[in-house]
Chains A and B, each alone.
Chain A
């Protein structure tokens, strides 16, 4: 589990971790041992806590009820639970009591600060992606570093290994040189190039709208312009999801890695000079893991 690898960073940030499922302590013990997991895997055997949280997957119960053969019920089981691999009543019974999978980030008092639930069961955000989105800095891995006349940047993927349905991010830490600024969303209306990734479209990866941090307003006196900019170090996230369709899965079976190419684009200016828009080519190579349908144990 990829969370295990981030455990030290989480601990260092003063953030506790626990994972809850309906598995018995025996199953969890076995799983923890096989995967070397040291954080608490909590056993909610009768799904009481899952139910109290209000995230019990009721689609499964519906798929076992009187309308279980209704094609629409079957379709929703497929969407929210699993595809044909679980398309049998005994398998539906096995998964009855599971939650809609998701993650809560809590403050020190147990209050939700952010939450991450996926609509499609095949899409799953990685832990590292959640941490980046929650604003918890990660040590960049597989980073591309660049230094231009106007700024310094470090571009890195949240994860170096992905599979079908993985929701991850391409991140870039940008540090404009002193007195320099780059442009934030809104500046395009005044003719400036907004900073960001410009990734080539891929049939295997869907790019989501970029996630920009809050910007500041810069007053450019000569033109009396008020422009949204970044002058201090900031991090920009470009979220992406690996295609989870059967067709994509088939294509990816033949691949060991996903190559994502594009550029990091920006325009930088200072009080005196406005430099032309720049485009730095970048390529990320992510290892492709293949889905493992093997069960670790009999429940």
Chain B
């Protein structure tokens, strides 16, 4: 099951619970709806513009999307943490 950009996990659980009551789905049906996330559907897609941002770097210097973009674009990485 695909999820929209703004996920509402609780709604999903609620809907799944309702359908369990109504249709007698097993617990594994709920599990399917909770644990299947299509990460490729999240965030800006190919051809779409990414939002601008204003964030400080490791030296406290504020960077924006424009300041990161080179003449041929940029590589923008999102990662969990530098800390662990």
With both chains docked as a complex, state the minimum distance between the C-beta of A90 and any C-beta of chain B, in angstroms. 12
> Given B63, B78, B79, which contacts A40 in the complex, CB threshold below 8 Å?
B63
Please state if B50 and A27 are interface contacts (CB–CB under 8 Å): no
Q: Mark A52-93, 1 if CB is under 8 A from B, else 0.
A: 111100110110010100111101100110000000000000
For the complex, give the distance between the alpha carbons of A27 and B43 in Å.
26
Would you give the shortest CB distance from B82 to chain A, in whole angstroms?
Answer: 4
Output the least CB separation between B78 and chain A (Å).
Answer: 4
Taken together as a complex, chains A and B put the C-alpha atoms of A119 and B13 apart, in Å, by 21
Which residue of chain A has the shortest Cβ distance to B10 in the bound complex?
A65
Q: How far is the CA of A37 from the CA of B82 in the complex (A)?
A: 11
Q: How far is the CA of A219 from the CA of B42 in the complex (A)?
A: 44
Shortest distance in angstroms between A175's beta carbon and chain B's nearest beta carbon?
25
User: CB-CB contacts of A233-251 with B at 8 A, as 1s and 0s?
Assistant: 0000000000000000000
Q: Mark A7-35, 1 if CB is under 8 A from B, else 0.
A: 00011011111111111010111011000
Q: Which of A19, A65, A296 contacts B79 (CB 8 A)?
A: A19
Residues of B close to A17: CB separation below 8 A: 68, 74-77
Place the interface of chain A in its size category: 35 or more
Over the window 28-49 of chain B, the binary record of Cβ atoms lying under 8 Å from chain A Cβ atoms (1 yes, 0 no) is 0011001101011011111111
A-B interface, 8 closest residue pairs, ranked by CB to CB distance from nearest? A14-B72, A72-B31, A31-B82, A76-B35, A16-B74, A16-B70, A28-B58, A42-B55
A-B contact pairs, 23 of them (CB 8 A): A13-B72, A15-B74, A16-B68, A17-B77, A20-B55, A28-B82, A31-B82, A40-B63, A41-B57, A42-B55, A49-B55, A53-B78, A54-B5, A76-B35, A101-B78, A109-B49, A111-B50, A113-B46, A115-B45, A119-B39, A131-B75, A297-B83, A298-B83
Q: Given A14-B71, A104-B50, A295-B83, output 7 extra A-B contacts at Cβ < 8 Å.
A: A28-B58, A31-B83, A79-B35, A95-B84, A100-B39, A115-B46, A117-B43
